[in-house]
Copies of this chain bind each other. A is one copy, B any other.
Amino acid sequence: MKLVKNAAGRFVPTSVNGEKQIPYKGMNKYRPTGNKANPKISTCIDFPSDGNKVVINLREALKKAGLKDGMTISTHHHLRNGDVVTNMMFDTIKKMKVKNIRWFPSASFPCHSHLIKYLEDGTIHHIEGSMNGPLGKFTTEGKMSGTGVLRSHGGRYQAIQDGEVKVDIAVIVAPTADPFGNATGDRGPSACGLLGFALADSQYADKVIIVTDNLVPFPCIPWQIQGNNVDYVVKVPTLGDPKKIVSGTTEVTKSPDRLLIAEYVAQFLEDAGIMKDGFSFQAGAGGTNLAFALFLKEKMKAKNIKARFIRGGSTKYLVEMLEEGLTDYILDGQTFDLEGVRSMRENANHVNTSPFTSYNFHGKGNFASMLDAVVLGATEVDLNFNANVVSHSDGYLLHGIGGWQNCLFSKCTILAIPSFRDRIPVIVDDVTTLVGPGNLIDVIVTERGIAINPKRKDLLKAVKNSNLPIRTIKEIYNEVNELCGGKPNKPKVNKKEVVAVIKWVDGTLLDSVYKVLK
């Protein structure tokens, strides 16, 4: 495997899984020159005129779809850790004796550790998609036949759209669908909210299979996935465990340190003048983020301020803000709890979005760069504000990128992070894996103070008279290193053996993940 140094100073392979790669060229330096992927033209002659595309089971659908060795099969992760269909699908593929599948999920979860045996026996060749938990560990230990490819949600749309990844068969689980293949995630016993992560797959895959446990007469309204892109529909008894698909409730952090971070973030938005009528923000579903939303809500109410839109992952806290009139819209990418699902079903102003609308960097603009502020997490950040969100300081790849890279394009990107975890400092000399270039990261908020990227002179000026603990990142770094007894140990890895690569939003290679030596 030949490695070259990219514009971020990171070493990346020139070729991955036999395909030539473009190293990261620097911010906004790489310009695509080609044309979008162009699937074969279909004809109604080949589809039932009564619109009934139901076939008896998934095996039959895969057979009709022409499944064979070496194909790329995509799935989406809206069922999160409650998904049983993907495991069942690979059990079926194993029984069909098909080998060397490239599995292209929008993310994988601990429930998919079931698939390790198929990675071992050659049913699955490799995974391109976030590898959370057990599959990430398996990959980092060098056990996967191919090289993992991690993309952001937007990068996944871009890769499909641009024809970098040709999906042979997309298997789309749908909590409600009709026999024509129109499908929605916002209702049914396995309701998950929306299906936006499967949009690109439905548009560009050669064959599209809908799997549902709630088949309704045509038309399934709303149709988040359009039946006109669907080849086959399969009814199964259940898509998974609803409790693991969406939690009934989402938990605000109880940690005093994290509550303090959340409060600092909210106050920062207020003091910096970002929180004003018509503003917009995005925050995820982690405990700190939820607490931030609650603090911000109180501040908005106190000052009688209304947001124009909030970007989800939605939770009951965001839904309350919508229903109490504190925002005109929720533009939602995924629903994290049952209230999010209900609201998406009931509120016309709780809007279904997709990586196409929100994140695709190879579109005519996207929503991410319009956000006034976004609050994200990170596993590590360095003194130049470069950040990592996929691996830990021990070298293990344990998290996906999600929409994280895409969100960095907001007008004010804030990483809300504890200054150390398990006595390991989070601010480091050099991130284990570079996932976000520092020139896109504006503010680091820790329980020990807030560091503003020096290039953001406007923000430094805006909070000059604030009582917030504004410090340099070096000050926080020094204090935490002292407290933890020194810098983290360097991970023990083989720098010659790349087990996975990190794509930037434009499809270029930003960094490599190396095999961990035990």
Chain B residues near A49 (CB-CB < 8 A): 365, 369-370, 409
Q: Report the minimal beta-carbon distance from A343 to chain B, rounded to whole angstroms.
A: 14
Chain B residues near A309 (CB-CB < 8 A): 218-219
Distance of A95 Cα from B33 Cα, bound (Å): 33
Chain B residues near A33 (CB-CB < 8 A): 41
Asked if A217 meets B50 with Cβ closer than 8 Å, knowing A356-B228, A365-B44, A506-B43, the reply is: no
B370 touches A308 (CB 8 A): no
Asked if A370 meets B50 with Cβ closer than 8 Å, knowing A217-B278, A331-B219, A365-B228, the reply is: yes
B221 touches A351 (CB 8 A): yes
Chain B residues near A367 (CB-CB < 8 A): 51, 219
A41 touches B45 (CB 8 A): no
Q: Which of A37-66 contact B (CB under 8 A)?
A: 37-45, 47-51, 53
Chain B residues near A351 (CB-CB < 8 A): 219, 221-222
Q: For the complex, is A360 an interface residue (Cβ under 8 Å from B)?
A: yes
Give the residue among A28, A51, A348, A363 with the most B Cβ atoms within 10 A: A363
B308 touches A365 (CB 8 A): no
Is the interface on chain A under 10, 10 to 19, 20 to 34, or 35 or more residues? 35 or more
Q: For the complex, is A329 an interface residue (Cβ under 8 Å from B)?
A: yes
B329 touches A221 (CB 8 A): yes
Asked if A348 meets B221 with Cβ closer than 8 Å, knowing A44-B363, A362-B44, the reply is: yes
Closest B residue to A278 by CB, please name it.
Answer: B217
Closest B residue to A27 by CB, please name it.
Answer: B45
Q: For the complex, is A180 an interface residue (Cβ under 8 Å from B)?
A: yes
Chain B residues near A212 (CB-CB < 8 A): none
Chain B residues near A36 (CB-CB < 8 A): 38-41
Asked if A231 meets B348 with Cβ closer than 8 Å, knowing A218-B370, A219-B309, A309-B219, the reply is: no
Asked if A365 meets B35 with Cβ closer than 8 Å, knowing A219-B331, A278-B217, the reply is: no
What mask results when residues 269 to 288 of chain A are scored 1 for a CB within 8 Å of chain B, else 0? Answer: 00000000010000000000
B365 touches A180 (CB 8 A): yes
Chain B residues near A40 (CB-CB < 8 A): 34-36
A43 touches B409 (CB 8 A): no
Chain A, interface SS category: loop
Closest B residue to A370 by CB, please name it.
Answer: B51
Asked if A51 meets B364 with Cβ closer than 8 Å, knowing A161-B41, A228-B356, A506-B43, the reply is: no
Chain B residues near A192 (CB-CB < 8 A): none
Distance of A361 Cα from B45 Cα, bound (Å): 8
B37 touches A362 (CB 8 A): no
Name the contact of A41 in the complex, choosing from B34, B180, B219, B230 (C-beta under 8 A): B34
B38 touches A370 (CB 8 A): no
Q: Report the minimal beta-carbon distance from A61 to chain B, rounded to whole angstroms.
A: 14
Name the contact of A228 in the complex, choosing from B45, B208, B226, B363 (C-beta under 8 A): B363
Q: For the complex, is A162 an interface residue (Cβ under 8 Å from B)?
A: yes
B38 touches A43 (CB 8 A): no
Name the contact of A38 in the complex, choosing from B38, B50, B231, B308 (C-beta under 8 A): B38
Asked if A37 meets B38 with Cβ closer than 8 Å, knowing A44-B362, A217-B278, A228-B364, the reply is: yes
Q: For the complex, is A384 an interface residue (Cβ under 8 Å from B)?
A: no
Closest B residue to A309 by CB, please name it.
Answer: B219
What mask results when residues 385 to 404 of chain A are scored 1 for a CB within 8 Å of chain B, else 0? Answer: 00000000000000000000
Q: For the complex, is A31 an interface residue (Cβ under 8 Å from B)?
A: yes
Asked if A41 meets B218 with Cβ closer than 8 Å, knowing A50-B369, A228-B356, the reply is: no
Distance of A32 Cα from B44 Cα, bound (Å): 11
A43 touches B219 (CB 8 A): no
Chain B residues near A41 (CB-CB < 8 A): 32-36, 161-162, 362
CB<8 Å pairs between A and B, sample of 24:
A32-B42, A34-B41, A35-B41, A36-B41, A37-B38, A42-B362, A43-B361, A43-B362, A44-B366, A44-B369, A47-B364, A48-B365, A49-B365, A49-B369, A51-B369, A217-B308, A218-B308, A219-B351, A219-B367, A221-B351, A226-B357, A227-B357, A228-B364, A348-B348
Among all A-B residue pairs, the 9 with the closest Cβ atoms? A38-B38, A47-B365, A49-B369, A32-B41, A35-B38, A51-B370, A228-B363, A36-B38, A28-B45
